[in-house]
């Protein structure tokens, strides 16, 4: 049976825990990797301070240590926090990371929520 985008998003949201900006701050202080999965034009507006950019369509290539484009910040036993503009792409990217063997992936949701509570941002 074929899955719809809605089905896939529901499965991703059920699998990848959603966290608050406050929880994200605590995890970042403990060494979590923050991953911005938005596209380049969105990232140009700013990103969570210290976040790695790996847009959703390329995250597998950054996260897989066997790929030449692997980013060494991606470690399967490290807590990973993903976010996008509203939370949908980050949920899907988080599920992809889980499918690749990442053991602790969390969804911060949307960048605006981070900004609204005074989260640190860099351009």
- Give the pLDDT score at 36: 98
**Which pair of structure tokens corresponds to residue 89?**
């792409």
Mean pLDDT, to the nearest integer, of 6-35? Answer: 97
For residue 38, what is the domain's CATH number? 3.40.250.10
Cα–Cα distance, 56 to 67 (Å, whole number) = 16
* Residue 5 within a domain: no
Beta carbons of 37 and 29 less than 8 angstroms apart: no
Q: What would the pLDDT profile of 23-34 be if each residue is shown by its tens digit?
A: 999 999 999 999
In a domain, 23, yes or no: yes
- Span 83-122, pLDDT tens digits: 999 999 999 999 999 999 999 999 999 999 999 999 999 9
Domain that holds residue 57: 15-122
Look at residue 9 in the predicted model and tell me its pLDDT.
95
Distances (CA, A) of 107 to 5, 6, 10, 69: 18, 17, 13, 23
7 assigned to some structural domain? no
9 domain-assigned: no
Check pLDDT > 90 for residue 1: no
Query: Does residue 64 sit within a domain?
Result: yes
**Are 76 and 102 in contact, with CB atoms under 8 Å apart?**
yes
> What is the chain's mean pLDDT, rounded?
96
Q: Is the pLDDT of residue 72 over 90?
A: yes
Instruction: Judge whether 105 lies within some domain.
Output: yes
**Total domain count for the chain?**
1
Q: Model pTM greater than 0.75? A: yes
């Amino acid at each position: 049976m074929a899955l719809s985008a809605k089905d896939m998003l529901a499965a991703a949201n059920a699998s990848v825990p959603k966290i608050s900006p406050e929880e994200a701050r605590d995890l970042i202080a403990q060494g979590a990797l923050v991953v911005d999965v938005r596209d380049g034009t969105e990232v140009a507006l700013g990103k969570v301070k210290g976040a790695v950019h790996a847009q959703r369509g390329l995250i597998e290539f950054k996260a897989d240590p066997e790929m030449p484009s692997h980013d060494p910040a991606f470690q399967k036993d490290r807590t990973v926090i993903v976010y996008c503009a509203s939370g949908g792409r980050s949920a899907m990217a988080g599920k992809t990371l889980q499918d690749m063997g990442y053991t602790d992936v969390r969804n911060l949701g949307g960048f605006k929520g981070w900004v609204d509570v005074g989260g640190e941002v860099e351009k």
